[in-house]
A and B are shown apart, each in its own frame.
Chain A
Amino acid sequence: MAIWVICEEHGDGLRRTTQELAAQARRVAEDGEPVVALAVGACVGRAGWLDGRVHRVVKVAGGGLVPFSADPWVAAVAAVLAEAEPRLVLWGEGTRAREVMPRVAARLGWPAVANALALEAADGGARVLRPVLGGKAYQWVSLGGAPALVAFRPNSFDPEVAADLDTRVEERSAEPCEDRVRVLERTAGDGGRVPLTEAQVVVAGGRGLKDAANLALLEDLADALGGAVGVSRAVVDAGWADHAIQVGKSGKTVSPALYVVAGVSGAVHHTMGMDTAKVVVAINTDPNAPIFKYADYGVVGDALQVLPALAAAVRALGT
């Protein structure tokens, strides 16, 4: 048996989540059980980080895999995994996992778990933790010994792992496969910033910011902290920001190390998108705002004053 990690690229290297998964796979692997990374398409040339950190890297190149495209990816990943019969296959949550993992699961007839937060070795296999009902409870799921696919939220594990292995690299080519869906147009994304769901720091704001122009205060603090910006639904509904950066039930789920949230009341629809953040700092003029129940640290005050003060204090640290 083996634990497999499905790689994803980011910039010139691998997505941080891929690194987290490889590191955690090493921690939970049984004695002598190899950790294998599957680098498909654009990952093939960006897999340097894996050297020494996993036992084996399987690189799959071929038509239709770059840029990412669902049909060819499903075919390529399913073909490799079907032969390999792994115990566990780990994915990072995101569009790619959402498009590919369930289809690979259906094709191979293997069980799949999405949105997981923790992975531990357990008697006779492994267990994973997942939120239920928007984080009102958490459930451990036993995976047993048969192959299973699991997608984990970003920032679930520490990516540090010793590069002490003799990594074997295998190169394969996929059967040519054309996607049935054709891209007519794709606008470039927000290239510079870290994606919201991966960011280690998220600075979020709500209606309490009063005006679209004040979202610049979030951007400025996010820049100082090297993080991403999120907003509440009230901000999206007001037309101040795009739905792509909404946090909550009908938006994104984030799990950063630090979540700074200003002018958000703390409705459950919002908190279910951020409650797994490690440290939460809330800023609100109302000392009784529900958001303080979800916060580790609180400041009662005007966001329009506290946000710039925080940015200044953070910048002062760096100098």
Chain B
Amino acid sequence: MDIAVLVKEVPDLEARVQVVQDGGALDVENKRVLNFFDEIAVAAALQLKEAGGGGRVYAVGAGSGLEAVRRAIAMGADAGFLVDDPAVDGADPLTVARALAAVVRAEGFDLVLAGRQATDDEAGLVGPMVAELLGVPCVVGVTAAEPADGGLVVGREVDGASERLSVPVPAVLTAEKGWVEPRVPQVMGLMKAMKAEIGRRTLADLGVEPVPPLAAAGYHGPRSRPAVRMVEGEPAEAAGELVRILRDEARVL
């Protein structure tokens, strides 16, 4: 089974973030990692490759995602591709999806995996968009999958219910926490990743015309909560006062 994994590089959640230029721009500390959910997708792809009796796992990134692609190779992916085009950073998700879909279509695939969402924008748009562009079904938030009857049996939790689904391949699945625990790459993997030849494609190579992205119209910092107001007293007393405040002042009860 040939499996493509869509990977994105995102700022680490510990990275310092500052709104600058009077709300005109964002200054993000340059600490970048492979997206948490994509890491699960890579690990799941490797597991499925084994269970399915071989095939190829390749990672596809875009824009400034070179290190994410290398990380996926370090984890065990066989190859990596990058949509290497300045127009991709800050592009509309649809442009990114069209580019990734074009790479996957050209390379061939039985399955495409992506993370449930990226931790920077938490949007979860690109994976299902790629499914639609490739004309294959899509299941989001997957926590289990195994080969069965030429397709897959897929498990997931939705709104408190658990589901088992029969999914024909090719298909797109997006990975949720709980599927596979990603392993930290070994030295051998890191060396292989460093030397790996990454296949680079521009949007023009792929025949993708970028759509104009929606305009950013300003940033602001987190709503600063006023300093916390401590409610004192023994549990019963503090609880009584708190409930009074929540009802009369905060008006949430």
Contact = CB atoms under 8 A, between A and B. Distances in A.
Interface of A: 70-71, 74, 94-95, 98-99, 101-103, 105-107, 109, 111-115, 122, 127, 130-144, 148, 179-190, 195, 201, 225, 242-244, 249-251, 253, 257-258, 268-269, 272, 275-276, 278-282, 287, 292-302, 305-306, 308-310, 312-314, 316-317
B97 interface: yes
Given A103-B132, A112-B93, A258-B246, A95 B13 contact: no
Interface of B: 11, 13-15, 17, 19, 26, 28, 36-37, 92-94, 97, 119-133, 136-141, 153, 157-168, 171, 177-178, 211, 213-223, 225-226, 228-231, 235-236, 238-240, 242-243, 245-247, 250, 252-253
Contacts of B158: 95, 189
Nearest to A269: B13
B239 A195 contact: no
Contact of A279 (B131, B157, B215, B252): B252
B229 A296 contact: yes
B124 A138 contact: no
A102 B125 contact: yes
Contacts of A269: 13
A312 B240 CA distance: 9
Contact of A105 (B94, B171, B235): B94
B228 A295 contact: yes
Given A94-B159, A181-B166, A302-B235, A107 B132 contact: yes
Interface of A is mostly: mixed
B211 A109 contact: yes
17 contacts: A70-B139, A102-B125, A106-B129, A106-B133, A138-B221, A141-B214, A180-B167, A187-B162, A189-B160, A190-B160, A251-B177, A253-B122, A296-B228, A300-B230, A305-B235, A309-B240, A316-B240
